[in-house]
A and B are shown apart, each in its own frame.
Chain A
Amino acid sequence: MSQIGYYRYKINPTIDIDIDFSINYELAATKSVIVKEWCDNDKLIKYLNKDGQYRFFAFNRFWESNDKPKELGRSNKIITSLLTSKSSEDILGYKNERILTLMAHDISQDELTVLSDLWTSPRVLMYVGDHITFSENDWIQVSIKAKNNLTRIKKSNYTDIIVDITLPEWYTISML
Chain B
Amino acid sequence: MAISTLTIFQDNKVGDSNLMPIHSPLIFLVDAEYTGADPYFIYCKIYNDDDQLLGIFKCIPYKDLTTAKRRFMFIADTVLQGYMEDFEDTEQSESSFIHIENITKVFKIEFTDPEENADPVEINITTIHGIRQFGNAPNLNEIFNNETETIFAYKNKPCYVYFFNDNEDNVIGIGYEVKFIIDDGVDPVDEVLIIVDGKQLYTNTSGEATFNLLNGNYSYTIYKEGFVEKSNNFAVNGAALIFEITLIANTVSAVTFHAEYDSVDQEDVFIEVYKLGLLIASGYTNPSGDLNRSLYLDTYDIKVSDLYWEYYVDDYELPVITNPQTDDIVIQLKSTYAVTFYVRHGITGDPIVGATIGSEAYAASGNPLDVWRNQSTILTTLGDGKVTVYELSGSENCGVRAKGYTSAVKPVTILEEPNLITIQLFET
Whether B174 is near chain A, meaning CB under 8 Å from some CB there, is yes
Contacts A6-B99, A21-B146; is A12 near B158 (CB within 8 Å)?
yes
Of the residues A12, A18, A29, A31, contact of B94 by C-beta under 8 Å: A12
Contacts of A31 in B (CB 8 A): 148-151, 161, 163
Contacts A5-B12, A57-B152; is A10 near B96 (CB within 8 Å)?
yes
B148 near A32 with CB under 8 A, answer yes
Q: Number of A interface residues, CB 8 Å?
A: 57
Binary interface profile of A, 6-38, with partner B (CB < 8 Å = 1, else 0)? 111111111101111111111111111111111
Q: Number of B interface residues, CB 8 Å?
A: 69
Interface segment out of the listed A47-55, A68-76, A86-94, A163-171: A47-55
| CB-contacts of A58-113 with B (<8 A) | 58, 110-111
| CB-contacts of B93-117 with A (<8 A) | 93-100, 102
A5 near B99 with CB under 8 A, answer yes
B144 near A9 with CB under 8 A, answer no
Contacts A12-B94, A122-B82; is A23 near B170 (CB within 8 Å)?
yes
Q: What does DSSP make chain A's interface, helix, strand, loop or mixed? A: strand
Of the residues B137, B159, B164, B174, contact of A20 by C-beta under 8 Å: B174
Whether B212 is near chain A, meaning CB under 8 Å from some CB there, is yes
Q: Which of B87, B95, B161 has the most CB of A within 10 A?
A: B161
Q: Shortest distance in angstroms between A123's beta carbon and chain B's nearest beta carbon?
A: 8
Contacts of A119 in B (CB 8 A): none
| CB-contacts of B161-176 with A (<8 A) | 161-175
A33 near B153 with CB under 8 A, answer yes
Of the residues A4, A52, A134, A139, contact of B22 by C-beta under 8 Å: A52
Q: Shortest distance in angstroms between A136's beta carbon and chain B's nearest beta carbon?
A: 4
A29 near B147 with CB under 8 A, answer yes
B residues touching A (Cβ–Cβ < 8 Å)?
Answer: 11-13, 18-19, 22-23, 78, 81-82, 86-90, 92-100, 102, 137-138, 141, 143-144, 146-175, 199-202, 212-215, 238
A residues touching B (Cβ–Cβ < 8 Å)?
Answer: 1-15, 17-38, 44, 48, 50-58, 110-111, 114, 122-123, 134-136, 139
A-B pairs, top 3 by smallest CB distance, nearest first, are A5-B12, A29-B146, A52-B19
Known: A22-B174, A136-B88. 10 other contacts (CB 8 A): A2-B99, A4-B12, A5-B18, A6-B18, A7-B163, A19-B174, A25-B175, A29-B163, A30-B148, A36-B153
